[in-house]
Amino acid sequence: MNVKRPSFGENTTLEIAILANFANEIFGIDRETRAFVRFELEPNTYEDLSFNPFALWTVRLSTEPGPADSARPELIEVTQIIPVGQMHRKRDIAHLGKECSSPSSIPILGFNGPSVSYGQITGHSPSVTLIELTKRQAIRKNSYGEITVSFPWGQIIASVPIGNEAERQVFEKADRPLNTAKEIASVLGFQPKYVLVALAKPKAGYCRKMAVGLLPEKISRRTAKKLRARQIESASSAFDITREKPTTVPSSANR
């Protein structure tokens, strides 16, 4: 598995479809090359942006990118974000999912197990992947008390901790195992069709697989509005969000 990178050339902007957010990171797909991208975002910008699955943004890239991170080879530096729309139609989302989802014949992110030693990461393998789910899916707590999403993958049942804070809070409030897609939909507001899995930043020398976003097969305007409110509420509880509307995203040199 090799990393697919967006084509930068002389163009300093990318048109991306947002997939998920985890901590202060945003994950998306470059719509031209179908390459995954991830970038860090200051928390006080959350309130003015839509983090709905498949929201459409134009992002301006920094002319002075930060140092390469072998654990996150898709990482880019963004200086400006312009929301431009939202994907709604099932056909458009299905086309994107078909082109970008990972085959179940290979391990998730190219290796077995829940984590990988940072010292083993070369930077040539992807740190983000999209997985198409069947109706055999479940939300449960593992032995460490973490909320996980479980689904068939190859010959095993994969179980990945949920990292998206808004989704985690929703399932915490439910406070019960959800053993079918229908039960998950009754709590989440939609039936997940895809899960975005990414390597988290290294901790104690290891990078863990995290489910950073559960994605629907289509998203109505009503659902988009509901999910945006959920994301803002989640961000507000985690960060002291200011009301001043930002115009730029600070680069790593200024953070």
Average pLDDT taken over every residue of the chain: 85
Position 71 scores a pLDDT of: 94
- Tell me if 25 sits within 8 A of 49, measured CB to CB: no
Q: What angle do CA 144, 150, 156 make, to 5 degrees?
A: 105
pLDDT tens, 36-88? 999 998 766 666 777 788 999 999 998 777 788 899 999 999 988 999 999 98
Residues 6 or more apart whose CB falls under 8 angstroms from that of 94 comprise: 217
User: Distance of CA 89 to CAs 18, 50, 84, Å?
Assistant: 15, 17, 16
User: What single letter denotes the amino acid at residue 34?
Assistant: R
- Tell me if 118 sits within 8 A of 205, measured CB to CB: yes
- Tell me if 180 sits within 8 A of 174, measured CB to CB: no
Position 223 scores a pLDDT of: 78
Question: Starting at the edge strand that comes first in sequence, how are the strands of the sheet with 147-153 ordered?
Answer: 138-141, 147-153, 156-161
